[in-house]
Amino acid sequence: MVCKNCGMANDVKERFCGRCRAELPSAAEGNAKKVKPSRDITPISSRNIFLENIINGRFKVINVLGRGGMGEIYLAEEVKSGKKVAIKSIRGSQILDRNVRARFQREAEATSRLSHPNICAIYEIAAENDHEYIVMQHIDGVTLDQLEKMKPLALKAIIDIALQIVDGMISAHAKNIIHLDLKPGNIMIDKSGKVKILDFGLAEFRPRKTANRKNRRPESDLSEIGVVMGTVAYMSPEQAEGQDLDGRSDIFSFGVMLYELLAGENPFVDRANIVTLYNIIHKEIKLAPGIPPAMQKIVGKALRKNRGCRYSDFKEIKTDLAAVRASLA
């Protein structure tokens, strides 16, 4: 189906253009099947996103901030107050995907339970004519992976960023919420240096530890038994193997990010995902000798293959990181 707005050829099953998001011709216009809107989740608007778009009579859409696996995030302005917000929706082609809808709803549920300076705030979960969307804090900054590419970070800056991530995760785990997708792309740093943790779409609600549970992860609305969910390069060994998970999985993912900040590269990643998964489960890592021994110790303990040998919680990591920062001062 050719988009009348930008000329891009789209699959006949698509309702919205993959490039400009304009609505494609209906079945009557282009002989394509018309997608029935989901009862639970549908796109923010049935038209292309223009500056004059008003959502729910309150939010004026300004532009697209980004696109991800699930959909788009838009920069918008509350008409009455002029306050900038970010609005997250599901891409038109994914509105009928059960797992995508479940992840979208889970992110809203998890983040709405949290209130912490280092976690992106959810303002409301709103609806308009069967359209549901998440209105969240707009962060004027860059993701951690973008920051890494911009310039090398000094050790003090790395520790400051790490401590803020740790503080946010202490708050999440205190609410029995484990993130399960910690990675540089889900960490934002605003212009003042404040860190914000994003995207709790894979979050699970459970106690920090699940001792003596050797069974694989139970079937849920997000995954089937043994199905691996998350970003491969930042998974814990138990996550890679599809096992039951607890907060120590987030600690391993944090360790991978910390290693990457210190060494400038991911310790496990390979061109083939299967090799990356093998490395996560089996490869032992070492940091370069130039990294302070205290930081090497922190990374090494966070990246233990056996979760029983890892840090038991983020509070322990905070104590060790704070000690290193104090020694620098």
Can you state the percent helix, strand and coil of the chain, rounding each to 5?
Answer: 35, 20, 50
pLDDT value of position 15: 55
**pTM of the predicted protein model:** 0.75
Question: Residue 327 CB: number of other CB atoms within 10 A?
Answer: 9
Q: What is the pLDDT of residue 100?
A: 67
The band of 106, judged by pLDDT with boundaries at 50, 70 and 90, is: confident
At 50, is the pLDDT very low, low, confident or very high (cuts 50, 70, 90)?
very low
Q: At what angle do helices 314-328 and 293-302 cross, to 10 degrees?
A: 170
Tallying the residues shown for the chain, one arrives at: 329
- At residue 91, the pLDDT reads 56
Higher pLDDT, 295 or 46: 295
Interhelix angle 155-174/247-263, nearest 10 degrees: 170
Q: Which of 167, 181, 199, 313 is catalytic?
A: 181
> Do the Cβ atoms of 171 and 121 come closer than 8 Å?
no
Domains of the chain: 31-137 (3.30.200.20), 141-328 (1.10.510.10)
Residue 181 annotated among the catalytic residues of the structure: yes
CA-CA distance, 161 to 144, in Å (whole number)?
9
State how far the alpha carbon of 156 is from the alpha carbons of 145, 169, 315, 322, in Å.
18, 20, 19, 11
What would the pLDDT profile of 128-161 be if each residue is shown by its tens digit?
655 667 888 999 999 999 998 888 899 999 999 9
- C-alpha to C-alpha distances, 217 to 102, 202, 282, 321, nearest whole angstrom: 17, 13, 21, 32
Instruction: Name which residue leads in pLDDT, 269 or 205.
Output: 269
Does the pLDDT value for residue 117 go beyond 80?
A: yes
How many Å apart are CA 81 and CA 228, to the nearest integer?
43
